[in-house]
Amino acid sequence: MSENRKSKKRKIQELLQDLLENSKKKTSDNLGPEVHCDILDLLSVFLSKGLDADGRKTTLEKYPILKGCEALKPPEVNPEIKSCLTQAVLRHDLCLSKLQGQLAAAISTLAVPTNTIYEELKKSDTPPSTHEELEKFGDPIKLVADVFYSLSKRRRYLIVPCLDDSVKDILESCPIDSFLFGQNFTEKLKCSPEANKFGASIKKKPKILRTVTTASTSSRLPSSSKQIAGSSRRGSQFFYYRQGGF
């Protein structure tokens, strides 16, 4: 019996060891190429400490967003929605919008060499290596653009709870464009069956707590109970005076 237990224990340990080795192999396979240690140190500083305000401003000024690409501009909050938001939500939204501005600068920077490679690719005698170079620049643009879009979705997620529940379906159906909830949000709101319920504002209405007023307990007590309660209070006051009270 003990031998069987030892055998099972060895098999479990071997299985765990195999899983550990396989996970190490997968991790090493997913790593990219090695770069110079100086580049790694530079990346580590930026990733752990970020840029200071002046450094961020200087870098953004060097790389303006692409001409003719309106989608690179962080979407604005629709005016009729903005008036319903608290200052805390507006500050949070502005912070996310600024992050989108940085991503837009990064996309614009990557798009310039991508455009150069694309122009070469259109030539008939383009070598196959140009296709690979185009992909190497195109994939980072896709990843950064996806983060840009995700931030827009996050901004919407933070704003929707501040608005009336009956307008939720309309908000979700509006696509993101130059405005966070679409340019046609107002028209969709006016055409909705619930439009007459919103009144002057689509802001979330505060919940009204209904209180039930009842007659005081003392008024419902019989006269004998009131006398007992009064004598009890007088007795407690007398005891307090005797103990050295006021």
Q: What is the DSSP string of 159-223?
A: HGGGB-GGGHHHHHHSPPSSBTT-TTHHHHHHHSTTHHHHTT--BPPPPPPP------HHHHS-H
Lowest mean pLDDT among 28-42, 95-109, 113-127, 191-205: 191-205
| Pair 152, 176: CB distance under 8 Å | yes
Residue type, 237: Q
Higher-confidence residue: 240 or 106?
106
- Domain ranges in the chain are 54-159
* Predicted confidence (pLDDT) per residue in 75-100, tens digit: 999 999 999 999 999 999 999 999 99
pLDDT grade for 242, boundaries at 50, 70 and 90: very low
SS3 at position 85: coil
Cross-strand partners of 163: 203
> What is the distance between the alpha carbons of residues 129 and 150, in angstroms, rounded to a whole number?
32
User: What percentage of the chain exceeds 90 in pLDDT?
Assistant: 49
Distance CA 25, CA 60 (A): 40
